[in-house]
Amino acid sequence: MTAIMLASKKRRNPKPSPKAENWVEEACRKPVAFSQVREDALIDLHIADSVASKSGRQLDGVIVASGGCTVAALAAQGKFRHMQVVDINRSQIALTMLKLWLLENGESIQRMQILGHSPMSPRMRGVFLKQIMTTLQLPQDSFGDWSEVCLIGPDHCGRYEAVFAALRKEFKINGGTIELLLKGDNYTHQALERAFARVMNQKNLVAIFGEDATANKTMPFWQHFYNQTEMVFFFRSAARNPYLFQMLAGGFPANSIYPWLNAPSKEIDTDIEFTVDTISNHIAKQPSSSLDFVHLSNTLDWLSEDAASSLLQQAGRVLRPGGTVIIRQLNSSIDIRALPNDIAWDGALSRAMLIRDRSFFYRNLHIGFK
């Protein structure tokens, strides 16, 4: 596993408005935007396996780092020869490196303890994290305030995680529990709606994530998240959905965790390259027909229509014949498949994967091939 850190502009944390709530002010100081990748990696694993099987060889790919969960899941799968991991935020790169180290060197229980999903004393978590981060040559402040990191674990120290912690607190104040939601209690579902409206209002989200994150919305974000969450409760699988429980309970349900967390410990044979840059800039620098797998997460949600179109055209250019692009769409109004590009969108596969998607935040999934 190789690490190549490219120079970039110094990241600036968002600044809260003068009248921001205390939890918003605290969230804005966090260097990590997303500690956990709230995308169901089972979908990405399925697509990677299919592309590798059809090509008859290991893949070359590029992926947004985010919280590193999907990168770790794909690395554990072993279908990639070379993987370019890209993020504009150095702290996201650092967190991804930590998770890859844990994949190679730790068993499931150790990953869970160190990241904050299972009990561990703050002192011992700090001891382990300091040793690992020294080995990886990561600054101790990569994940934020050290005492908080040791107390709750790196997987709970992001700004997104702070939003959901505030949501859980607001929901609990009104007597809400996930158990009552699963039973279909009407008052509890109303309490959840009020909590979303109170916590995930436009002012708070802009303060924490910036204007770009909410620029293309089809509806208020709190309404989008509430609607998507409510749909989960129509299915019996809600009681074992790890993404639902992480959001509303702050932990996992019994016997259901993120795919990479219980993967067997193994030496990573994928050549992994880390780059601090925007995914748009990075892909534009890649040779034509050089990649089999382009994973854009939901980055198009943050872009203007022109910028999204440019990124898609570059993605199509760098893909080899038979290569794939995976895009998740949260709440943006952009008609992604209508943008000019030479990608053949597989509507049937995209719908099938969306139905299977346990990470219910996304209203659309776009899977295409060259």
Question: What does each of the 370 residues of the chain score in pLDDT, given as a tens digit?
Answer: 544 444 444 445 555 544 558 999 999 999 999 999 999 999 999 999 999 999 999 999 999 999 999 999 999 999 999 999 999 999 999 999 999 999 999 999 999 999 999 999 999 999 999 999 999 999 999 999 999 999 999 999 999 999 999 999 999 999 999 999 999 999 999 999 999 999 999 999 999 999 988 888 999 999 999 999 999 998 879 999 999 999 999 999 999 999 999 999 999 999 999 999 999 999 999 999 999 999 999 999 999 999 999 999 999 999 999 999 999 999 999 999 999 999 999 999 999 999 999 999 999 999 999 9
Whether 210 contacts 302, CB under 8 Å: no
Burial 263-286 (b: 16+ CB within 10 A, else e): beeeebebebbbbbbbbbebbbeb
Between CA 102 and CA 347 the distance in angstroms is 36
Domain-embedded: residue 155 = no
Between CA 182 and CA 192 the distance in angstroms is 12
Between CA 41 and CA 359 the distance in angstroms is 9
Q: What DSSP character marks residue 217?
A: B
Domain-embedded: residue 341 = no
Distances (CA, A) of 302 to 36, 105, 362: 18, 35, 14
Domain-embedded: residue 79 = no
* Alpha-helix runs per DSSP H in 235-346: 242-248, 279-284, 305-318
Question: How many C-beta atoms surround the C-beta of residue 173 within 10 A?
Answer: 12
Burial 343-360 (b: 16+ CB within 10 A, else e): bebbeebbeebbeebbbb
Domain-embedded: residue 17 = no
- The distance of Cα 118 from the centroid of its chain, to the nearest Å, equals 20
Number of domains in the chain: 1
Domain-embedded: residue 77 = no
Whether 196 contacts 225, CB under 8 Å: yes
H helix or E strand, kind and range, residue 83: strand 80-87
User: What secondary structure does DSSP assign to 319-363, as a single string?
Assistant: EEEEEEEEEEE-SB---GGGSS-S-EE-HHHHHHHHHH-S-TT-S
Domain-embedded: residue 121 = no
Residue 210 domain boundaries: 160-256
Q: Which residue has the tokens 């939901």?
A: 298
pLDDT of residue 14: 57
Between CA 26 and CA 37 the distance in angstroms is 21
194 contact partners, CB below 8 Å, separation of at least 6: 170, 174
Domain-embedded: residue 193 = yes
Q: Strands 344-345, 291-295: parallel, antiparallel or unpaired by DSSP? A: unpaired
Whether 333 contacts 367, CB under 8 Å: no
Q: What is the pTM of this model?
A: 0.94
Candidates 55, 41, 38; CA nearest to 326 is: 41
Amino acid 258 reads: Y
Q: Strands 291-295, 59-64: parallel, antiparallel or unpaired by DSSP? A: parallel
Domain-embedded: residue 226 = yes
364 contact partners, CB below 8 Å, separation of at least 6: 328, 329, 336, 350, 354
